[in-house]
Amino acid sequence: MTASNTQDRILILGAGAIGSFYGAALQAGGADVSVVCRSDYDAVRANGVAIDSSALGARTLRPAQVLRSAADYQGGPPAFLIVSVKVVEGTDRAALIRDAIGPGTAIVLIENGVEIEAELAAEFPDHELISALAFVQVSRTAPGRVKHFAFGDLHFGNYPSGLSDKARRLAALLEAGGVRAVTTEDVVTARWQKAVWNAVFNPVSVLGNALDTDDILNAAGGKEFVRRAMGEVCAVAAACGHPLPEGLADQFITATAKAPAYKTSMALDYEHGRPMEVEVVLGNAVRAAQREGVAAPALETLYALMKMVERKAAKRNEAAAPR
Amino acid sequence: MTASNTQDRILILGAGAIGSFYGAALQAGGADVSVVCRSDYDAVRANGVAIDSSALGARTLRPAQVLRSAADYQGGPPAFLIVSVKVVEGTDRAALIRDAIGPGTAIVLIENGVEIEAELAAEFPDHELISALAFVQVSRTAPGRVKHFAFGDLHFGNYPSGLSDKARRLAALLEAGGVRAVTTEDVVTARWQKAVWNAVFNPVSVLGNALDTDDILNAAGGKEFVRRAMGEVCAVAAACGHPLPEGLADQFITATAKAPAYKTSMALDYEHGRPMEVEVVLGNAVRAAQREGVAAPALETLYALMKMVERKAAKRNEAAAPR
């Protein structure tokens, strides 16, 4: 175990693909990284998490502490608590976080979606909140094994705005560990910007039963529909005080059409029967539209359809559950 | 072969489940019924079409003439030409009909959807056009075999309005053959009324990957979405000069919620990889909305998504086609 600076003690909640990928980078950058993990505890305790990455080479996250519960964390509160659990309906993030922080701990949320911070900011007013968006394609392939396919940038800044010394320190650790950190003083706008793509392509890909980007954009009227729905997200963002660049939808459409056809992460979750981040990615955008009085009928339709898909999946899982 | 009245000579284009079901009823009612069929020609020629129905008992359509092509029809033009081919993209109905009619032939369209008649009325201005909606659950189970599950009513009237002596005669033959004929002087309004259900439940069921009515109505926000989308169909119908009864959407929702959960015909077509009637059921409603300047964003979203689903299915079929 390497000696480490107190200010760089990092605890990660949820050592899934995302948490392990950035944890390994932070460790490579010199931080003291521990993880709380449940299902994969034995494997991670024994061998850490092996990251298989053609871009970064093979690396292994060997946590300083592998914990079943954040309450077992030794040595005082962490400087950073990274929350990288997937936010699906029923997750009580506040309860998970409460056990894992102490005086001075900055809470780092790595999460998709919009309007995901306010609740935690209200719950933990004395803690700095760093809001982060992962642009990375990673997947947990087995207990203690993660495959890194592409990308890796982490975009972040303080919520509701600004960029603290701690946030800058986090960026330095990541960069030292080989991952690009893109810091911003306006992370909320960055979230809306990413949501323009995510709130449209993700549900649409699921609704066609795992469509890829070619099916979506090259169907009759496909581009026009995507542009209209993205325009709704932009209108909601603007109404929330976060106007996005002109022409953003067209930029996204052009870039997506140029890239080889691929399926969204939500389509992959759907195909594998995993929970989908419908609420943070789409539901929050729809609720913001309703709150701000912005018409978003395409998004509302996508959302209504996704709730039907979720209901069907829940019924199937219930039927398949052991009794 | 039974002797038959000249006025009751009927030629059916498309001896699928629907055509055979009503053909058998018309024959039982005393008509001289012939069929044009392609894929099932040998089976139908040898043994007719066996209709397995618990409601009507087992009955067999034994066509007076079984033809590969309408041009082979003997004995002068039919009094009625029943067109019961499924209307999917690429079907040239006019070309099929042109070969099968002569002076005095009434064209009977048994078809789903809205605004399906105008093109044929313009193409065949000298022929009476009877527009019919089947409320029946039937399925072709094998060449020359049809299973009748439920219902059976045929609703029809002349296009654009009225009820001719020939239409009344058709009703009498059907009733004599054990099927309920519901005649109307305003068949276009009847079509819009049926479309209120079909243009919403059919695509929605497909988009959730074969949802049943329970998944749709009992998801969070499900009923509200269905009501809103149905309201769009009602608004389009009204703009087209066919106002529908107040409260129709709620009536449909209540009736559907009370019935046991079931999948729509379009969901079944989708599950079995069969072409879907997206254009006549939904596309025509969307185009009517655009023409009349009626906002229909939920329908437009469903339509855009269905075109993506169709594109994916077409790619898959192309990949699977023999070369």
Q: Which ipTM score applies to this complex?
A: 0.88
Looking at per-residue pLDDT, the higher value among B99 and A188 belongs to A188
| Backbone phi, psi, residue A151, to 5° | 60, -165
Nearest by Cα to A68 from A95, A39, A94, A88: A39
pLDDT at position B25 over 70: yes
Three-state DSSP class for A61? Answer: strand
Give me the pLDDT at residue A7, please: 76
* B1 band by pLDDT with thresholds 50, 70 and 90: very low
Buried b or exposed e, range A157-189, using 16+ CB within 10 angstroms: bbbeeebeebbebbbebbeebbbebebbebbbb
Rg (CA), chain A: 20
**Measured in whole angstroms, how far is the alpha carbon of residue B149 from the centre of its chain?**
16
- Judged by CB atoms closer than 8 Å, whether chains meet at A310 and B219 is answered as yes
Q: Measuring CA to CA, how many Å separate B80 from each of A164, B48, B110, B251?
A: 81, 20, 12, 35
- Judged by CB atoms closer than 8 Å, whether chains meet at B215 and A300 is answered as no
Which chain A residues have a beta carbon less than 8 Å from that of B215?
308, 311-312, 315
Instruction: Report the distance separating Cα A91 and Cα A112, nearest Å.
Output: 14
**Neighbouring residues of B70: CB distance < 8 A, sequence distance ≥ 6:** B11, B13, B36, B96, B99, B100
Which chain A residues have a beta carbon less than 8 Å from that of B221?
303-304, 307
Instruction: Report the distance separating Cα B27 and Cα B9, nearest Å.
Output: 10
* B3 band by pLDDT with thresholds 50, 70 and 90: very low
The burial of B184, by beta-carbon neighbours within 10 Å (0-12 exposed, 13-18 middle, 19 or more buried), is given as: buried
List, for residues A227-279, the tens digit of each pLDDT value: 999 999 999 999 999 999 999 999 999 999 998 898 898 998 999 998 899 99
Q: How far is B253 from chain A (nearest CA, A)?
A: 16
Q: How far is A228 from chain B (nearest CA, A)?
A: 10
Q: Where is A20: in which H helix or E strand? A: helix A17-28
**Neighbouring residues of A162: CB distance < 8 A, sequence distance ≥ 6:** A185
- Cis status, amide bond into A160, omega within 30 of 0: yes
pTM across the whole model: 0.89
Mean pLDDT of chain A: 93
Q: Counting every residue, how long is chain A? A: 323
Most A CBs within 10 Å, among B200, B202, B207, B300, to test the A interface: B207
pLDDT at position B93 over 70: yes
Looking at per-residue pLDDT, the higher value among A8 and B93 belongs to A8
Which chain B residues have a beta carbon less than 8 Å from that of A208?
207, 305, 308-309, 312
Asked if residues A96 and A111 have their Cβ atoms less than 8 Å apart, the reply is no
Which chain A residues have a beta carbon less than 8 Å from that of B311?
215, 218-220, 222
Q: Scanning every residue of chain B, which has its alpha carbon at the shortest distance from the alpha carbon of A209?
A: B209
Give me the pLDDT at residue B139, please: 87
Q: How far is A216 from chain B (nearest CA, A)?
A: 6
Instruction: Report the distance separating Cα B235 and Cα A250, nearest Å.
Output: 32
pLDDT at position B2 over 50: no
**Mean pLDDT, rounded, for B240-254:** 97
A134: left (phi over 0), alpha (psi -120 to 50) or beta: beta
Asked if residues A78 and A104 have their Cβ atoms less than 8 Å apart, the reply is no
Please tell me if residue A58 touches chain B, with a CB cutoff of 8 Å.
Answer: no
Mean pLDDT of chain B: 93
Looking at per-residue pLDDT, the higher value among B303 and A14 belongs to B303
Which residue's entry shows tokens 């053909």?
A: B23
Neighbouring-strand partners of residue B82 = B12, B108
* B148 band by pLDDT with thresholds 50, 70 and 90: very high
Going A32 to A34 to A40 to A41, the CA torsion angle's sign is: positive
Give me the pLDDT at residue B218, please: 96
Query: Could you give all domains of chain B from N- to C-terminal order, each with its CATH number?
Result: 6-185 (3.40.50.720), 189-320 (1.10.1040.10)
- Judged by CB atoms closer than 8 Å, whether chains meet at B297 and A302 is answered as no
Give me the pLDDT at residue B320, please: 67
Asked if residues B262 and B210 have their Cβ atoms less than 8 Å apart, the reply is no
Query: Which of B215, B312, B315 lies nearest to residue A312, judging by beta carbons?
Result: B215
Neighbouring-strand partners of residue B77 = none
Which chain A residues have a beta carbon less than 8 Å from that of B211?
308-309, 312
Which chain A residues have a beta carbon less than 8 Å from that of B204?
305, 308
- Judged by CB atoms closer than 8 Å, whether chains meet at A222 and B304 is answered as yes
**Mean pLDDT, rounded, for A44-56:** 94
